[in-house]
Amino acid sequence: MSGKILLVEDDSAIATVIIAALEDDGFTIDRCSSIAARNRLLDADAYDVMLTDVMLEDGDGLASMDDAKARAPEMPVIVLSAQNTLDTAVRASDKDAFEYFPKPFDLDELVQAVRQAAGQGSRATAAPEAEGDGMPLVGRSQAMQGVYRMITRVLRNDLTVLVTGESGTGKELVAEAIHELGSRRTGPFVAVNAGAIPADLIESELFGHEKGAFTGAIAQAIGKFEQANGGTLFLDEIGDMPAEAQTRLLRALQSGQIRRVGGRQEIAVDVRIIAATNRNLAPMIAAGDFREDLFYRLNVVPIELPPLRERREDIDVLSQHFLAQAAEDGLPRRQLSADAVELLEARNWRGNVRELRNVIYRLALMARDDLIDGASLSDIIGTETKPGGEGDANGFAGALDQWLAENSPQSGALYHSALAAFEKPLIEHALSETGGNQLRASKLLGINRNTLRKRIGDLDIEPDRFTRPV
């Protein structure tokens, strides 16, 4: 490649690495570290691509982007930022950025983006400004950066999105963010939980029904598709949708038309579909429980939300966010001490962000002092540590040593006795992690589903007690 690049970066170490990589790829680079210097260089020369940091020596690189665009309207801009929030990603998108890279970034991906920008020019058009300053998603962890980047990439189009992730990770918040920040934000946002509607009513719920279509249909009813016309329809827990409803949903997605139950007229609908599930659809497709063609219709743009245990560095900022929300909801204004945050970061959080929010609200309600320290936190919610952590009796090995010390199996029975002792809690853990879903639990354990069912019966395990409420 060849081309001239303007790098606006006030961190000399980062700038050195970027310049070396781009020069190795054949580019010529001019570098500055301020908005004023950037404007002087743009006045004096033409550049194929500009790479800019957000926080510069003399101000906000994004806030001043209009000045740069006035000097070079056709120049693609790649934004680099250590302010790794959804707000920054959306601001970059609003400013017509060709690409957004949160720091730290993959250098090879950055070089590839520069190549594309130098060869293609800007690939986006300005998006409408988002209303309000609050962002529905919170967190600056590396695990969330891919989520933010994917969200910004679908704001200007109507591509179907499939959001996956464990229960409580915030899948509906992703759908709301795409709707509220995108081009359909003036239209309705309609959410429906496919797993919470009885199988014999879900088609009526989605597509509506005519008067007299079935017993109890005393009047015409408008379904969710028509209610969402011109906006976004969020189909939560799509993996729990009955087979017949899957067929009708596929037909609606393919044709852009629906027919009310008991009706004869085809009704055109203009909706953006965002679906979500906490289930792994691949084994369901293999088992014939979910239509493969529907999966491909839904999985145009996949967005996977990380569980809270994979973004523990966000627990502090999430906790502060929920404390502020609790105060807005009328609870006392509280703060967390450093040792309280450490205890929160050490918990398992099987219920993910939803569980953290509930815990923070409980703390805000029950704490005696405005500053919640570690001791107060433990008194209110108890103590818990990450599996295998320092507070876990040296993890699994320590538990096994303790069991061996306390038990004396007969000669020749040690293996089976130890296996029997540890198999039940292992299976119970898998069921707990998957909300009682035996198919997902068998996959987590790496055993056959029928084998798991047999062991559940042999070990007198009650799988229903692990089922989480919707």
Please check whether residue 47 is in contact with residue 39, taking contact to mean a CB–CB distance below 8 angstroms: no
- Residue 192 is predicted with a pLDDT of 93
Alpha helices in 351-413 (DSSP H): 352-366, 374-381, 395-406
Compute the average pLDDT of residues 133-146: 76
Residues constituting the chain = 470
Asked if 295 contacts 112 with a C-beta cutoff of 8 angstroms, the reply is: no
**Hey, which residues does 335 pair with through a beta bridge?**
371
pLDDT at 94: 81
Region of residue 34 (phi > 0: left; psi between -120 and 50: alpha; otherwise: beta)? beta
Residue 9: name the closest of 48, 39, 50 by CA: 50
CB 334 within 8 A of CB 363: yes
pLDDT class of 129 with cuts at 50, 70, 90: very low
The pTM for the full model equals 0.62
DSSP code string of 214-249:
STT--S-B--HHHHTTTSEEEEETGGG--HHHHHHH
Work out the average pLDDT over 343-370: 91
Is the predicted pLDDT of residue 403 greater than 70, yes or no?
no
DSSP state, residue 128: P
Q: How far is CA 9 from CA 3, 63, 74, 393, 466, in A?
A: 19, 15, 21, 48, 51
- What are 274-298's pLDDT values in tens digits? 999 998 898 889 888 899 999 999 9
Q: And the tokens for 218?
A: 């005393």
Calculate the alpha carbon distances from 313 to 138, 169, 308, 342, 444 in Å: 12, 15, 9, 10, 25
Residue 323: which of 355, 354, 365 has the closest Cα?
Answer: 365
* Predicted local confidence at residue 294, as pLDDT: 95
User: Residues 256-278: pLDDT tens digits?
Assistant: 998 888 888 899 999 999 999 99
388 phi and psi, to 5 degrees?
Answer: 80, 5
Q: Is the pLDDT of residue 455 over 80?
A: yes
Cα separation of 181 and 128, whole Å? 8
Q: How high is the pLDDT of residue 414? A: 65
- Confidence check: pLDDT of 429 > 90: no
Distance between CA atoms of residues 162 and 179, nearest Å: 14
Average pLDDT for residues 428-447, to the nearest whole number?
Answer: 83
Whole-angstrom distance, CA of residue 300 vs CA of residue 282: 15
Least confident span in 196-200, 220-224, 414-418 = 414-418
Q: Percent of the chain scored above 90 by pLDDT? A: 37
CA separation for the pair 430, 158 (Å, rounded): 37
- Tell me the two tokens of residue 442: 């068998």
**What is the greatest pairwise CA distance in the chain?**
88
At residue 387, the pLDDT reads 46
Torsion of CA 178, 180, 181, 183, to 10 degrees: 90
For residues 148-172, average pLDDT: 91
Instruction: Look at strands 27-32 and 3-8 and give their pairing.
Output: parallel
Most confident segment among 83-87, 331-335, 393-397, 412-416: 331-335
pLDDT of 391 higher than 60 = no
* Identity of the residue numbered 277: T
